[in-house]
Structure 1
Amino acid sequence: ANLEPDEFFSVALGSIHCDVGDVKANLGEHKHANIRIIDDDDPGVICFAQSVLRTSEDAEGKIKVVKVMVERRNGSRGEVSIKYRTEEDSAKPDTDYEDTSGELVFADGVAEMQIEVKIVPRGRYESEERFRLLLEEPKGCQLAENSDRDMNICTVIIESDEEARDRVDRVVKALQMNWDKQQLGQ
């Protein structure tokens, strides 16, 4: 079978005209739609929707759930599966994120699924930590190859939370003393 790439086109809604009495209609907020035509003759190629995902800690110090999109491109025929797991880098399992592994099973016709990864709050101030999410051991499908090979790995970058950093800066500023004014006799 010849592999056909997915095809894309956009639909934009324009002006509204109604010939029925006093009916008034307006276009809503969503005036544009992107359409993806999937070649469903083949089982497809599994990859991440993006190779880098930036996130921050939860501002309230709670565990944050990040959803990482996995796509099935160039086909969606049959049930296929792919295993996934996290791999440490500067971010460490159980300190910065919860170590995660499992298997996604795409039913016939399903083209997108999500992996949930939990980010552990640590109160990062200026640091940036990263870890990777890997796709491996495809069954009934393929992993991306050649130039798309980077899409088999999603690097998750945990940035410091701006709100938390601002709170720390305000506390530090409030605690700073003008030592020149605190000298004895003044």
Structure 2
Amino acid sequence: MKEIIIATKNAGKAKEFKQMFQPLGYEVKTLLDYPEIPDVDETGTTFEENAILKAEEVSKVLKQIVIADDSGLSIDALEGRPGIFSARYAGEEKSDEANMDKVLNEMKDVPDGSRTARFYCALAVAIPGKETYTVSGTCEGEILHERKGSYGFGYDPIFFAIDKGKAMAELEPEEKSEISHRAHALRLLEKDLPTLFGEGQS
């Protein structure tokens, strides 16, 4: 089984990547398996820039192919916020509940029809000695007025997924993986995985 390293310490993301990659014959490891690697400063101004920073930095340390994702929620009525600050929107502590509370409060006077939003995911693949490769995916939706569902993580309980007609957090993991921003990005990446890994990888 080929090994893929995902540059994340987010347990929710780690679980989703494992669900996506294992059927393709890849064993997934994350930064949870390498606690000695320090966090990478996300100084980029776009999801792509931050994904590239994380992938390249971890790849330099491990001298292996590393995939990094940077993703978040972009709300039209909030001029694209929380955007690249999605994980820490309510503060440095990275609280999903506090982040959702802040968004719901900022959206409390926004009427239905003007609550459009999308999840965005950028994936970067850093390969030692080669140029970093990127793909991206989106999932269109709307911001709900209250939390719904108990699956997923992050902003899933307040995001109405248009393709499924329900909150992202009401979707079983298999359903979410059909329409999520991460799944869309991964499908683009999937066809190039054999080429990216090349011969002699294990």
Instruction: Identify the TM-score tier after normalising by the shorter chain.
Output: under 0.3
Q: For the pair shown, which has the larger CA radius of gyration, 1 or 2?
A: 1
Greater strand fraction, Structure 1 or Structure 2: 1
Greater RCO (CA < 8 Å, at least 6 residues apart) = 1
The normalised TM-score by structure 1 is 0.28
The normalised TM-score by structure 2 is 0.26
